[in-house]
């Protein structure tokens, strides 16, 4: 059993930490961005890895739970605890330094609380690229991005957050600092604890620093919006693009016309790329080294794809403004979704070759549940779709509360049948603990519990996230 | 305490497994390629993951140790146990199937016993590339390559074995099959057990199958051997090449003239690339997509580098034969080293920008120990050097037995001071257990022991590899 972070506990903490470490528990720390959950707790903001370790040691001794808090942009409730003992909400907002930039090694070392946009700027100043790219870059912190193994727009080329990290500094559940800030490309000395902590959503350790991989900035970018006759054609186009353009492809985003209809219906206002919006579109982006002309490469791809009847129309951006306009269509879709209000939204992945079948079969099964609108879009190149289900025009999500669970179950069961994942990039958090229990391989779950129990035997680190709160103790 | 795989145990096993699963314990399974260690045990070759699980269950019940055996090409003794209870040597040589090739998904699924060269062939037949590339490809098996997180020649571009694996099927220490053959690019459902098993050298589970990433084959390759005035210049050239050529660079190998002198002294016979061998050379290889001419790109790199005085001479391969000749120089060096006979050889990595200092300082410190020859070569692009120390001409390694430990300690201490790794790609095995103990972060070691103890509480999986045999039980 865990204990509340009560007044006695907090006064004890005030004796070891400076005044600056104590923050008011405002809505920032307790309210989910879409207002789906509420959390509670007492906010503590240590100023160094050693201070994080002190907080954890105090919590370990008093058996007080800790909820690590990054930028608060998570979509599965991993940063919000509304049940069980009242936790310490541990934020790294006072640890935001870029510690070192080493362009000659393509390495940047940052505090766990460094904001993604600041990391981007520091990399750019050194003429390098840190490719992790997602909408919340102005708020999300690198510790949280690694703890949740964030994905985003550049995964196809550069991998997810995990692939962009060489080493971490982390505080264990015993309150000790593991100095794992490796700057090496190759190191085969012992178990891969870095990748175990990454993606563990704060349940195995707290990431206080990270050594990140930088990349040369492409000399030029090329961006095209292509109309495709079907998801099948989009998958074939992806293969053709891979053969022609190799690893220069950094984005391959599928969109259904539903997203553009939503934008027309509710805004935000965007310039539609086609006079007549096709059913399916793909946004392709390449970043090329010197000596390769991106527009020509995209034109050649378009010509070959048109010949093979894989595309029916296309727009290649001729200026930075056109490029921004094409991307703003893709990037405005989540906001339009929010304005319409989904009954249920899903962050799923299936093997790439199964995507067309998934889309057909998903539509069929959901059709049996009612008159629903589906907005399916996302990172086709990674097999990762955002598959969101909405009421018919004129109806509201609240009219469909009764089928919400069935919608979710229908989608997730189909994903599971197709050997996919019910959380491709958002993580498990508290929202998908039951899904993990339902769909995960039993041996995987058993090993996860054994590891949780071995590294955090009291279960004080983010209890209730990833695994049910009691499972570390089984 | 563990028990010997004695006659009673083996007769029990014969009741559950077919006759074909029992093999004679020949030298193949007990002799290290350089004859540095001997192992012992009884060879068992299950025919399926389920049979592997049966063997492990029998061993778990009788507390008999298991030494997983891949191709037997490991260089740190991980596949050979000469101490403690007599083990079952578990080979996957009957499990060599390529289960599926899915070019449209860039995925290949293979049995854990599939030989790397067979995986290469299957990928090529589907017009794809599986980039893991090392000298022992005709013998090494994918299960072992993953268990040791093998590196090799293409890590700079494609990453090590870990980065090439989407999912594994593995048998746990309890003798159950974890079905983790994920074909997904993105899956954030729970802890990253895949990467924990990968690189654990058979101490946490036995990899019986793997889903591997394939890549489009480059349209063309370009290869150049460049003479550089110093390691400093080589590191600068690497940065310049990155800016100019981006991710097309698949090889960036540093060589010292010592390697070519050894080749001249003992063979194998190769064509020296330069009329007069320079002190330092770099072998650069790029693989380009359609629309990019590799030779032109290398010529432009050469011109810019010559202008900046980073190269003094160069050869660009103009034919497949010339390309093979350049590579044969690099690839023959390990054999020449074997013929000369090293006092001590080291597979180390340091942060790339520290490599020049490491080379200077290493030479200085070893100079104090005697008249030694150093052959320093390897994967500069990954910061990974093979740093091998030899006696003066006319002397033999046996004349220097007394300083072997001091040579090793001198090199490893320097690597550690420079925040490097004493095992960049070969792993820990049994050879480097003490090094791990000496150099690893204490919190890392503590977590490793906790995990070993949680997943293999009896310590039956490859006892004595990675961690000392009793440490799983601490």
Best of B99, B188, B289 to substitute, by most chain A Cβ atoms within 10 angstroms, is B188
Q: Give B71-106 pLDDT, tens digit per residue.
A: 999 999 999 999 999 999 999 999 999 999 999 899
Instruction: Name the 3-class secondary structure at A340.
Output: helix
DSSP conformation class of A201: T
Q: In chain A, what residues touch B293 (CB-CB under 8 Å)?
A: 291
Predicted confidence (pLDDT) at residue A31 exceeds the cutoff of 60? yes
Instruction: Give how far Cα A375 sits from Cα of A266, A336, A342, Å.
Output: 14, 10, 9
Q: In chain A, what residues touch B164 (CB-CB under 8 Å)?
A: none
- pLDDT band, very low/low/confident/very high, at B473 (cuts 50, 70, 90): very low
Cβ separation of B428 and A188 shorter than 8 Å? yes
DSSP codes, A270-313: ---SSSS--SEEEEEEEEE-TT--HHHHHHHHHHHHHHTTS-SE
Minimum-distance CB partner of A189 among B247, B297, B428:
B428
Burial class for A367, CB neighbours closer than 10 Å (0-12, 13-18, 19+): exposed
Say what angle helices A355-367 and A231-245 make with each other, to 10 degrees: 160
pLDDT value, residue A445: 98
DSSP conformation class of A473: G
Count of CB pairs separated by less than 8 Å, A with B? 279
Q: In chain A, what residues touch B422 (CB-CB under 8 Å)?
A: 189
Cis peptide bond upstream of B268, omega within 30: yes
Tokens 């049979």 locate to B51
Strands A42-44 and A177-180: unpaired
Minimum-distance CB partner of A180 among B191, B432, B444:
B444
B468 touches A: beta carbon within 8 Å = no
**B434 strand-pairing partners:** none
DSSP conformation class of A454: H
Average predicted confidence (pLDDT) for chain B: 95
B178 touches A: beta carbon within 8 Å = yes
CB atoms within 10 A of CB A86: 17
Helix (H), strand (E) at residue A216: strand A215-216
Q: In chain A, what residues touch B292 (CB-CB under 8 Å)?
A: 289, 291-292
Widest CA span of chain A, in angstroms? 74
B445 touches A: beta carbon within 8 Å = yes
Cβ separation of A151 and B239 shorter than 8 Å? no
Give the pLDDT mean for B397-408: 94
Cβ separation of A178 and B441 shorter than 8 Å? yes
Q: Give B162-185 pLDDT, tens digit per residue.
A: 999 999 999 999 999 999 999 999
Average predicted confidence (pLDDT) for chain A: 95
Helix (H), strand (E) at residue A227: strand A220-228
pLDDT value, residue B37: 83
Top CATH class of B98-216 equals alpha beta
Burial class for A290, CB neighbours closer than 10 Å (0-12, 13-18, 19+): middle
Best of B107, B156, B186, B465 to substitute, by most chain A Cβ atoms within 10 angstroms, is B186
Q: A290: distance to nearest CA of chain B, Å? A: 6
Give the pLDDT mean for A317-329: 95
pLDDT value, residue B472: 43
pLDDT value, residue B384: 94
pLDDT value, residue B215: 93
Q: Give B244-294 pLDDT, tens digit per residue.
A: 888 889 999 999 999 999 999 999 999 999 999 999 999 999 998 877 889
Predicted confidence (pLDDT) at residue B474 exceeds the cutoff of 70? no
Give the pLDDT mean for A332-360: 95
Tokens of A135: 């909408």
As a whole-number percent, the residues of chain B with pLDDT over 90 amount to 92
**How far is it, in rounded angstroms, from Cα A112 to Cα A108?**
12
Helix (H), strand (E) at residue A244: helix A231-245
Instruction: Name the 3-class secondary structure at A149.
Output: coil
- A192 Rama class: left (phi>0) / alpha (psi -120 to 50) / beta: beta
Contacts for A448 with CB less than 8 Å, ≥ 6 apart: A466, A467, B190, B191, B193
DSSP codes, A35-81: S--B---EEE--SSHHHHHHHHHHHHHHT--EEEESSS--SSSTT--
Widest CA span of chain B, in angstroms? 74
Minimum-distance CB partner of A443 among B176, B186, B427:
B176
Fold of B7-93: 3.30.43
- pLDDT band, very low/low/confident/very high, at A254 (cuts 50, 70, 90): very high
Cβ separation of B160 and A448 shorter than 8 Å? no
Q: In chain A, what residues touch B235 (CB-CB under 8 Å)?
A: 104
> First CA to last CA across chain B, in angstroms?
13
- pLDDT band, very low/low/confident/very high, at B53 (cuts 50, 70, 90): very high
B126 touches A: beta carbon within 8 Å = no
Best of A131, A298, A419, A447 to substitute, by most chain B Cβ atoms within 10 angstroms, is A447
Residue of B nearest to A442 (CA): B178
Cβ separation of A151 and B379 shorter than 8 Å? no
Cβ separation of B351 and A289 shorter than 8 Å? no
Provide the residue count of chain B: 474
**B315 strand-pairing partners:** B225
Minimum-distance CB partner of B184 among A383, A436, A451:
A383
B349 in Cβ contact with A187 (< 8 Å): yes
Give the pLDDT mean for B376-388: 94
Minimum-distance CB partner of A196 among B187, B192, B426:
B192
Q: In chain B, what residues touch A235 (CB-CB under 8 Å)?
A: 104
CB atoms within 10 A of CB A271: 9
Best of A74, A176, A190 to substitute, by most chain B Cβ atoms within 10 angstroms, is A190
Q: In chain A, what residues touch B183 (CB-CB under 8 Å)?
A: 351, 419
Helix spans in A389-432 (H): 404-417
Q: A362: distance to nearest CA of chain B, Å? A: 19
- pLDDT band, very low/low/confident/very high, at A247 (cuts 50, 70, 90): confident
Question: Which A residues in the span 384-403 are in contact with B, Cβ-Cβ below 8 Å?
Answer: 384
**How far is it, in rounded angstroms, from Cα B212 to Cα B214?**
6
B132 in Cβ contact with B152 (< 8 Å): yes
A303 touches B: beta carbon within 8 Å = no
CA atoms within 13 A on the CB side of A125: 11
Instruction: Name the 3-class secondary structure at A110.
Output: strand
Tokens of A469: 């709160």
Task: Map out the domains of chain B as residue ranges.
Answer: 7-93, 98-216, 220-417
pLDDT value, residue A246: 83
Helix (H), strand (E) at residue A12: helix A7-16
pLDDT value, residue B292: 81
Minimum-distance CB partner of B191 among A196, A426, A453:
A196
Instruction: Name the 3-class secondary structure at A23.
Output: strand
Q: Give A136-177 pLDDT, tens digit per residue.
A: 999 999 999 999 999 988 899 999 999 999 999 999 999 999
Cβ separation of A436 and B189 shorter than 8 Å? yes
Q: Residues of A406-444 as b/e, b for ≥16 C-beta within 10 angstroms?
A: bbbebbbebbbebebbbbbbbbbbbbbbebbeebbbebb
**A170 strand-pairing partners:** A178, A207
Fold of B220-417: Alpha-Beta Plaits (3.30.70)
**How far is it, in rounded angstroms, from Cα A202 to Cα A67?**
8
Cβ separation of A349 and B187 shorter than 8 Å? yes
Tokens of B231: 């390691």
Question: Which B residues in the span 332-351 are in contact with A, Cβ-Cβ below 8 Å?
Answer: 349-351
Contacts for A298 with CB less than 8 Å, ≥ 6 apart: A222, A223, A224, A284, A286, A316
Q: In chain B, what residues touch A155 (CB-CB under 8 Å)?
A: 185-186
Tokens of B205: 């589970």
B253 touches A: beta carbon within 8 Å = no
Cβ separation of B424 and A188 shorter than 8 Å? yes
Best of B447, B458, B471, B472 to substitute, by most chain A Cβ atoms within 10 angstroms, is B447
Q: SS3 letters for chain B?
A: CCCCCCHHHHHHHHHHCCHHHEECCCHHHHECCCCCCECCCEEECCCCHHHHHHHHHHHHHHCCCEEEECCCCCCCCCCCCCCCCCCEEEECCCCCCEEEEEHHHCEEEEECCCEHHHHHHHHHHCCEECCCCCCCCCCCEHHHHHHCCCCCCCHHHHCCHHHHEEEEEEECCCCCEEEECCCCCCCCCCCCHHHHHCCCCCCCCEEEEEEEECEECCCEEEEEEEEECCHHHHHHHHHHHHHHHHHHEEEEEEEEHHHHHHHHHHCCCCCCCCCCCCCEEEEEEEEECCCCCHHHHHHHHHHHHHHCCCCCEEEECCCHHHHHHHHHHHHHHHHHHHHHCCCEEEEEECCHHHHHHHHHHHHHHHHCCCCEEEEEEEEHHHCEEEEEEEECCCCCHHHHHHHHHHHHHHHHHHHHHCCCECCCCCCCCCCCHHHHHHHCCHHHHHHHHHHHHHHCCCCCECCCCCCCCCHHHC
Strands A88-91 and A98-102: unpaired
Instruction: Dihedral sign for Cα A214, A215, A218, A221, please.
Output: negative
């Amino acid at each position: 059993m865990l204990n509340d972070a009560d007044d006695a506990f907090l006064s004890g903490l005030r004796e070891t930490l400076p005044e600056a470490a104590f923050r008011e528990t405002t809505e920032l720390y307790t309210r989910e961005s879409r207002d789906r959950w509420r959390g509670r707790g007492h906010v503590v903001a240590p100023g160094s890895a050693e201070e994080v370790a002190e907080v954890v040691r105090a919590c370990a001794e008093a058996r007080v739970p800790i909820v690590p808090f990054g930028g608060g942009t998570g979509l599965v409730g991993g940063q919000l605890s509304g049940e069980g003992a009242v936790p310490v909400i541990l934020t790294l907002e006072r640890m935001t330094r870029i510690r070192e930039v080493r362009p000659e090694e393509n390495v940047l070392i940052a505090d766990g609380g460094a904001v993604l946009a600041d990391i981007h700027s520091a990399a750019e100043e050194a003429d390098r690229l840190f490719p992790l790219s997602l909408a919340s870059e102005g708020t999300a912190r690198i510790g949280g991005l690694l703890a949740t193994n964030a994905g985003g727009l550049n995964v196809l080329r550069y991998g997810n957050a995990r692939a962009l990290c060489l080493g971490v500094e982390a505080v264990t559940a015993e309150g000790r600092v593991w100095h794992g800030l490796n700057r090496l490309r190759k190191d085969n000395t012992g178990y891969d604890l870095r990748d175990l902590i990454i993606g563990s959503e704060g349940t195995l350790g707290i990431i206080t620093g990270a050594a990140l991989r930088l990349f040369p900035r492409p000399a030029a970018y090329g961006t095209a919006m292509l109309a495709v006759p079907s998801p099948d054609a989009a998958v074939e186009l992806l293969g053709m693009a891979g053969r022609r353009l190799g690893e220069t492809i950094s984005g391959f985003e599928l969109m259904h016309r539903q997203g553009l209809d939503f934008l027309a219906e509710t805004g935000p206002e965007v310039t539609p790329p086609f006079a007549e919006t096709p059913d399916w579109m793909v946004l392709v982006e390449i970043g090329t080294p010197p000596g390769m002309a991106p527009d020509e490469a995209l034109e050649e791809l378009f010509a070959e794809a048109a010949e093979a009847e894989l595309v029916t129309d296309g727009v290649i951006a001729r200026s930075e403004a056109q490029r921004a306009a094409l991307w703003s269509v893709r990037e405005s879709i989540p906001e339009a979704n929010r304005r319409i209000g989904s009954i249920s939204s899903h962050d799923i992945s299936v093997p790439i070759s199964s995507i067309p079948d998934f889309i057909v079969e998903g539509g069929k099964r959901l059709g049996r549940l009612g008159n629903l609108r589906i907005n399916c879009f996302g990172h086709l190149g990674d097999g990762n779709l955002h598959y969101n289900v909405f009421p018919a025009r004129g109806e509201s999500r609240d009219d469909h509360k009764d089928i919400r669970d069935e919608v979710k179950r229908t989608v997730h069961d189909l994903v599971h049948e197709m050997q996919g994942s019910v959380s491709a990039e958002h993580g498990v958090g508290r929202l998908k603990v039951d899904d993990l229990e339902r769909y995960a391989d039993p041996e995987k779950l058993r090993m996860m519990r054994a590891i949780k129990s071995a590294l955090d035997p009291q279960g004080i680190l983010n209890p209730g996230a990833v695994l049910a709160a009691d499972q570390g103790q089984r």
